[in-house]
Chain A
């Protein structure tokens, strides 16, 4: 049952997710980094993906994701309290799909029998707003001419769309440190992704000699800004916008620090369900 009135919200069941990262990660200024494998609450997850052939659909039962307890009805992110030791941005997203860990080496990996994540998009059919991200699971080494391209089926079920080889300026090893995330642009006219079809790596000279990465499909839920050390804020439902959360959503947090440390951060996220 959807929450369609203030009384629905007041009377809804509420769960507070506690997300805490107790140690820092070296980051790059103004770049998103994954903290999935950093110890805290819930316990650390594992960065490296477990399938490059088909990928997996992570859930709240995946180590590193907070368990979600409502079993029926619709859930909504109704409030987020957050704070960090560094000026930064924090993001919460539902990790819909994860494939990896792919090797740094040049080549094309075609996926098949990919599991569907339709149950984790609104209405089962609205893939708009979903995003493709690269997540470095093993730091890269040596090279300075590395790119990645992902082909996908778009939100309207058109196959063969491509992100193109990204980024425009090839990456060096120093730009592919562990945890770094890179959002890949969708093709012109596209607004979401139903399925990852293939992953294409270009490893030009000077070539990388180590490194691994995942390909993720994320549905963004929330972002917040910490303007200074030990800053943060409280976002009620008027500021979260009540994005839908499913009872098996794999909620992850990411950080975009102003400087070169992720800081340690805490997030209390309320899920209201009815």
Chain B
């Protein structure tokens, strides 16, 4: 049943999804929090032939209970649990991880996928525009590495080859968004993942993200809690099997306590 009125929200089923994630080394690049914190997943995706469509049951996904009907976020509370005053502001992207493949070897070459599972059931209205392709460093690196992706675009045109991007100068789990070819705005399938240059580089995953929400923490210097209410959080649809995950940019180097806690209220009906 769709949620179309305030009364629907008030009478809908609420669940509170808590995401508690650990820290990585400080970075100016995005860091995948997939393999950290409570309910951590593994960067070893385990499928380089076809890829997989992760769900709420996949280790690493937010603890989302299955529900019937439509789901929407109505509130997000972000907490920093660190007490260090070196906690800088950070950007946190909450996304539905709708496809991933890896880990691809740390060698120059093309990795072709076939019989890729469809993630169409996780794309509202069949609109593939706005989906994002990310390359995720599945192991630490000491040298350099460059990658690009061949994909089927939002309109079903195959063979689109992205510009080449270089790995960020950081360690394991750091990510870089793959830019699209001019004229493209989304992706229906990943066809190939190519390592174009490599020097003591890393292994890689590739994933497709449907962005849900992007929030910011102000850092310990200003505030350790931010609340994003209905006006800024209600909009993107959450599916019963959504694999909700986070990327963070600018988190601190405090490795003793998880610095990030997200509490999302999801209403479904």
Using a CB–CB distance below 8 Å, which chain A residues touch chain B? Answer: 6-7, 10-11, 13-18, 20, 22, 39-46, 63-64, 66-67, 69, 78-79, 81-83, 85, 227-239, 266, 268, 270, 272
Lowest 8 A-B CB distances belong to which pairs? Answer: A236-B231, A11-B4, A230-B250, A236-B232, A83-B91, A81-B214, A42-B185, A43-B180
Of the stretches B5-13, B102-110, B256-264, the one at the interface is: B5-13
Q: Is A16 within 8 A of B89, CB to CB? A: no
Query: Nearest chain A CB to B252's CB is how many angstroms away?
Result: 11
Residues of chain B contacted by A231 (CB below 8 angstroms):
89, 91, 216, 218
Query: Nearest chain A CB to B104's CB is how many angstroms away?
Result: 20
Q: Is A13 within 8 A of B129, CB to CB? A: no
Residues of chain A contacted by B132 (CB below 8 angstroms):
18, 20, 41
Does B224 reach chain A (CB closer than 8 Å)? no
Query: Nearest chain B CB to A137's CB is how many angstroms away?
Result: 15
Query: Nearest chain B CB to A60's CB is how many angstroms away?
Result: 9
The tally of residues in B whose CB lies under 8 Å from a CB in A reads 52
Residues of chain B contacted by A43 (CB below 8 angstroms):
179-185
Q: Is A10 within 8 A of B89, CB to CB? A: no
Known contacts A81-B232, A230-B88; is-contact A67 B185 (Cβ 8 Å): yes
Q: Is A234 within 8 A of B250, CB to CB? A: no
Q: Could you list 10 examples of A-B contacts with CB < 8 Å?
A: A10-B6, A11-B3, A14-B236, A18-B131, A18-B211, A20-B132, A40-B180, A83-B91, A83-B216, A232-B91
Q: Is A44 within 8 A of B6, CB to CB? A: no
Q: Is B211 within 8 A of A16, CB to CB? A: yes
Using a CB–CB distance below 8 Å, which chain B residues touch chain A? Answer: 2-9, 28, 88-91, 93, 124-125, 127, 129-132, 154, 163, 165, 176-177, 179-185, 211-216, 218, 228-237, 249-250
Interface core residue of A43, A238, A270 (most chain B CB under 10 Å): A43
Complex Cα distance, B213 from A235, in Å, reads: 11
Q: Is A270 within 8 A of B185, CB to CB? A: no
Q: Is B231 within 8 A of A44, CB to CB? A: no
Query: Nearest chain A CB to B183's CB is how many angstroms away?
Result: 4
Known contacts A15-B127, A63-B183; is-contact A270 B89 (Cβ 8 Å): no
Residues of chain B contacted by A83 (CB below 8 angstroms):
91, 214, 216, 249
Q: Is A82 within 8 A of B214, CB to CB? A: yes
Q: Is A81 within 8 A of B215, CB to CB? A: yes
Interface core residue of A6, A39, A235, A270 (most chain B CB under 10 Å): A39
Known contacts A11-B5, A236-B230, A266-B93; is-contact A230 B28 (Cβ 8 Å): yes
Residues of chain A contacted by B129 (CB below 8 angstroms):
17, 42, 66-67, 69
Complex Cα distance, B95 from A268, in Å, reads: 11
Interface core residue of B93, B124, B211 (most chain A CB under 10 Å): B211
Residues of chain A contacted by B88 (CB below 8 angstroms):
228-230
Complex Cα distance, B229 from A238, in Å, reads: 11
Q: Is B184 within 8 A of A42, CB to CB? A: yes
Interface core residue of A7, A17, A42, A228 (most chain B CB under 10 Å): A42
Residues of chain A contacted by B3 (CB below 8 angstroms):
10-11
Complex Cα distance, B181 from A45, in Å, reads: 10
Q: Other CB < 8 Å A-B pairs besides A79-B234, A230-B90, 10 of them?
A: A7-B6, A10-B8, A17-B130, A18-B185, A22-B176, A40-B179, A42-B180, A43-B182, A64-B182, A234-B233
Output the nearest chain B residue to A83 by Cβ-Cβ distance.
B91
Complex Cα distance, B241 from A114, in Å, reads: 50
Query: Nearest chain B CB to A59's CB is how many angstroms away?
Result: 13
Q: Is B179 within 8 A of A44, CB to CB? A: yes
Residue from the list B4, B176, B182 in contact with A45, Cβ < 8 A: B182
Residues of chain B contacted by A233 (CB below 8 angstroms):
216
Q: Is A46 within 8 A of B182, CB to CB? A: yes
Output the nearest chain B residue to A81 by Cβ-Cβ distance.
B214
Residues of chain A contacted by B127 (CB below 8 angstroms):
15, 69
Interface core residue of B5, B28, B179, B184 (most chain A CB under 10 Å): B179
Query: Nearest chain B CB to A267's CB is how many angstroms away?
Result: 8
Residues of chain B contacted by A14 (CB below 8 angstroms):
124, 235-237
Output the nearest chain A residue to B127 by Cβ-Cβ distance.
A69
Output the nearest chain B residue to A265 by Cβ-Cβ distance.
B91
Residues of chain A contacted by B184 (CB below 8 angstroms):
42-43
Q: Is A10 within 8 A of B9, CB to CB? A: yes
Complex Cα distance, B258 from A212, in Å, reads: 52
Interface core residue of B182, B184, B213 (most chain A CB under 10 Å): B182
